[in-house]
Amino acid sequence: MVIPGNRYIPYENRQGGKAVVYFTRELSADGLIKAYDSVSSRIGGKVAVKLHTGEAHGPNIIPRSWVRKLMEQRLPDSSIVETNTYYEGDRYTTEKHRDTLGINGWTFMPVDIMDSDGTVMLPVKNGKWFKEMSVGSHMTGYDSLVVLTHFKGHVQGGFGGSNKNIGIGCADGRVGKAMIHTTPGQNNQWDIAKEEFMERMTESSKATVDFFDGRITYVNIMRNMSVSCDCEGTAAMPVVTPNAGILSSEDILAVDQACIDIVYAMKPEENHDLVERIESRHGLRQLTYMKELGMGCDRYTMIDLDNGGKEITAAEAASNLKAYKPDGQI
């Protein structure tokens, strides 16, 4: 039986092992470095940093100044990695994509558009929908992966966390993304939705997680959390959810689950729009399916990096949040 993706499972109703999630309220380059340092022990060799570089002039993407400081101080020989989009927009072709990277200021480190020279198939272990997934061919040239994610809503996934960042973001623009979004032989590019879409996206993510075999880590930034993905650029819906902080973990399920738990622990007037987006798209199926595939833990110990490593709950992380207002950081 498929667990419905519009049903939130409270922490006390979950079972199984625990992961560790680190949390800081410090929304800055230094806060990002602090969060990354807590989960960086497995990262080495040729390093890829997967993040969403956004459509042209996107207002909510991770501040470039933060990423620049992180990469210059901690990952000086790494590359930002992306793939082309499935929809016809500013990043549909490699040429357009490179123009958009320049517009958005991603010029301080190399950016590898991983499907610019083709694709490669990676196995999907124990998949329901796929036996293999098509990803950008350059991905197999990296030794480890830092998944740096702007946590927010998503028009089809309900929310976009680390799972979406690599499940959609590492699949190549023509084959892999089509496998996730579209039933072959019909004209609706976006016909796959709700639980099936979450499961397909998660199986794609699993292919990348398994490829890196532990040499992968996750940082989620809960800032400028529109209900819209960064794919929507300047058309994104206004932000109404308060900024919360930065979370990091070596467990993909735990870091996304902890972000969701913080959202659900907010006051109704703070989380209403984002919760409606998540539940109307059945996005919570991402979490339960990651658990079914053995990708991580939905229980965790949350460590407060701002208070000497004290253990806290998601409710404590969500307490005393300030009403959203733009911070002007780019």
Sign (positive or negative) of CA dihedral 140, 193, 275, 292: negative
Q: Tokens 């996750």 belong to which residue?
A: 218
Per-residue pLDDT of the chain (330 residues; tens, 9 = 90+): 889 999 999 999 999 999 999 999 999 999 999 999 999 999 999 999 999 999 999 999 999 999 999 999 999 999 999 999 999 999 999 999 999 999 999 999 999 999 999 999 999 999 999 999 999 999 999 999 999 999 999 999 999 999 999 999 999 999 999 999 999 988 899 999 999 999 999 999 999 999 999 999 999 999 999 999 988 888 889 999 999 999 999 999 999 999 999 999 999 999 999 999 999 999 999 999 999 999 999 999 999 999 999 999 999 999 999 999 888 887
The SS3 assignment for 107 reads coil
Q: Domains along the chain? A: 11-317 (3.40.50.11440)
Q: Tokens 């796959």 belong to which residue?
A: 192
Tell me how far apart the alpha carbons of residues 12 and 9 are, in angstroms, rounded to a whole number: 8
With a threshold of 0.95, does the pTM exceed it? yes
pLDDT of residue 327: 84
pLDDT of residue 233: 85
The SS3 assignment for 291 reads helix
pLDDT of residue 272: 97
Helices (H), 104-175: 162-167
pLDDT of residue 273: 97
Q: Which amino acid is at 315?
A: A
Tell me how far apart the alpha carbons of residues 109 and 65 are, in angstroms, rounded to a whole number: 12
> How many C-beta neighbours within 10 Å does residue 223 have?
24
pLDDT of residue 236: 87
